[in-house]
């Protein structure tokens, strides 16, 4: 595998930045690794375990290097899916394999419903598809409350409330959205509001991602092989539970991956999972 080469792609409303780690000897499909709003840097450790394949990572619109050019303060899964469609078309390598995590899994499922011919195997890791939860109403209300906290008080209080939601074990209580936000300082987060309102997590994607309604009929009929992945340590948290629910809608059984929601990270963004063990499981799923 070569060192990553960075390219840009103009898409409606944004300029995407993506990185290609080439393996000229590989006969396997290109492997696309991504999340949302996590950028390409979060997948560097995982990419290193696939030196026998060409691996592509990218920053989703509005995150890190991929700046929006239209000034919009919201990004939707359908926009992200169209970005992915254009990116795969630009690669011009035929159908790809995908590992997509968190919001990226929501976006990848949206892509597979619309352009299944572009995706051979999709591993959707813990999509936070709150619409599919039996406790969808309090879960969705909690997501709205996080966004409203961001608009009202800024990044620190909103992210503290987000951490409380995504780390909660089991169904979301009916009163969760009305609970006071934890102290941001307890998480090492800023307590002062810097006035910005374009954060890709609690600003641009918070509501559009969690509220997205998937076309399960199209997904079940698609040629894409869709595998839902759930973390061994996070299966009772919101994104893990949503992953189980999505697998149920697809009529499949979720595959358990090592670690939690961050199981593939190797120190990026201050979080360390077990990328080697994670890659072993991913490789097995891709070759089954």
pLDDT of residue 2: 75
CATH dotted code for 5-129+212-287: 3.40.50.1820
What residue spans define the domains of the chain? 5-129+212-287, 136-207
Reported as a pLDDT band with limits 50, 70 and 90, residue 25 is confident
Q: What is the pLDDT of residues 80-94, one digit of tens each?
A: 999 999 999 999 999
Whether the per-residue pLDDT at 1 is higher than 70: the answer is: no
Whether the per-residue pLDDT at 16 is higher than 80: the answer is: yes
| Mean pLDDT, the chain, integer | 96
Please name the residue ranges forming H helices in the chain.
44-47, 77-91, 103-114, 136-153, 155-166, 206-210, 216-221, 238-250, 275-287
pLDDT of residue 270: 85
Residue bearing tokens 């970005």: 83
Point out which residues pair with 8 in neighbouring strands. 17
Q: What is the pLDDT of residues 161-203, one digit of tens each?
A: 999 999 999 999 999 999 988 999 999 999 999 999 999 999 9
Rounded to an integer, what distance in angstroms lies between the CA atom of residue 244 and that of residue 171? 13
Can you read off the two tokens belonging to residue 190? 């800023």
DSSP annotation of 68 reads B
CA neighbours within 13 Å on the CB side: how many for 74? 11
For 225-254, what is the mean pLDDT? Answer: 98
In angstroms, the Cα distances linking 195 to 50, 69, 183, 199 are 41, 20, 19, 11
Can you read off the two tokens belonging to residue 226? 């869709």
């Amino acid at each position: 595998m070569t060192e990553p080469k960075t390219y840009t792609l103009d898409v409606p409303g944004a300029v995407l930045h993506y990185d290609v780690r080439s393996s000229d000897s590989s006969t396997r499909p290109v492997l696309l690794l991504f999340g949302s709003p996590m950028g390409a840097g979060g997948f560097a450790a995982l990419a290193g375990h696939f030196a026998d394949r060409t691996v592509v990572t990218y920053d989703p619109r509005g995150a890190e290097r991929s700046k929006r050019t239209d000034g919009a303060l919201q990004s939707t899964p359908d926009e992200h899916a169209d970005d992915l469609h254009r990116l795969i078309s630009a690669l011009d390598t035929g159908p790809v394999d995908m590992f997509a995590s968190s919001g990226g899994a929501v976006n990848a499922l949206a892509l597979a419903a619309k352009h299944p011919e572009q995706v051979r195997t999709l591993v959707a890791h813990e999509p936070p598809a709150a619409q599919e939860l039996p406790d969808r109403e309090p879960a969705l209300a909690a997501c709205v409350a996080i966004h409203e906290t961001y608009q009202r008080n800024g990044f620190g209080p909103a992210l503290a409330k987000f951490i409380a939601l995504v780390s909660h074990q089991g169904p979301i209580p009916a009163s969760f959205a009305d609970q006071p936000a934890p102290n941001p300082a307890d998480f090492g987060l800023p307590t002062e509001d810097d006035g910005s309102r374009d954060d890709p997590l609690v600003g641009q994607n918070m509501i559009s991602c969690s509220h997205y309604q998937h076309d399960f009929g199209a997904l079940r009929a698609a040629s894409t092989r869709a595998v839902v992945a759930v973390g061994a340590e996070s299966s009772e948290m919101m994104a893990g539970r949503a992953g189980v629910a999505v697998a149920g809608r697809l009529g499949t059984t979720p595959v358990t991956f090592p670690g939690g929601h961050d199981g593939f990270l190797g120190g990026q963004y201050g979080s360390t999972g077990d990328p080697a063990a994670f890659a072993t499981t991913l490789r097995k799923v891709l070759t089954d």
